[in-house]
Structure 1
């Protein structure tokens, strides 16, 4: 059974038809990367799945259960999580308080000790205000919060934007570890090299439609990066 399944998904901003008949299936433990030019509809896709888009049509299922009619908080309680670009942490709360606030929203949170086993670099900052941490450290706190709620499907919107290469690498390592624990990951990311390094499949979104999909090797060998993104060099 697919962890997340979309069929003929359409999304609108007013009269503007942004997503146009999108189909996608994400398996437990899979990492699906979505790439495309700015304005292609990538963030709209994640918002539509999370229930944050005003008008959405089509079929969405989480582990076979329909999501239509469920508010974003109900989708979150069902195991769906979105780490967006614009809201990462509660800045006035400590790292620990950020994680405890997330834990309070679910019946069976992951023990904080286990969260720190995955992201041990947060230990020295455990009682520091999250807003005083670097951008990369705050992003790790945001991931920790999603670990705490035992999300089954994690959607990431540009998680490495503006971060140091060492943090980019670390986020890739954490995503791999989540996948190994059977969390399904939907990754929207401008960093093509990272996306190809950690994704099991790639979808290319253009003007609200998926115009190509395949394994990273298939996307590269088919010349699809150059055709749709103007990228000449294959990711290493």
Structure 2
């Protein structure tokens, strides 16, 4: 009995720890799904007027409607769309009598010429966004060649003489928009808690099987020695 007591305690303690990690990931999954639901609800809400001083924390994803004049030439951010291929997001300015902000008009194919913007006022509906496109593997922007690899709002605002505020277009009043809108959504927000939970529970099951096998071998050993 003493021979199996310590391995049994060790095996059960290890399994309990792995199971607790799996349960924690399930709890995190419920929390993250609640966060994503809240963001999706905010994105789809009725648009409001542009805040006087938009805040990256308080106004992230805020739906906004604004009318102004589009500026040009736009900045091009290299992106890729499934089943379509490489292309650019077009980032330009929208100016009213009081202010100038950045607008993300959406997607054009990489070989498509940038169309001319209308010289009439345009009403744009979309969501405020301070995107976090850059990571450790993102190249530096080719500013001279007008090929950007991340929507660096502050840098773009400085280039175009606008406020560091980006409105990602959902739709416009134009009958023939210059680009296909890529509205804000939650697809880019990671939610891997389910896969993590499955991993921990699987490891717990393997740990228990290996513990059981070890205990079985331990209790079988005296009989094997007799033969």
Please, what TM-score do these two structures have when normalized by structure 2?
0.24
Which has the higher Rg, Structure 1 or Structure 2?
A: 2
TM-score, length basis structure 1:
0.24
Q: Which has the higher strand share?
A: 1
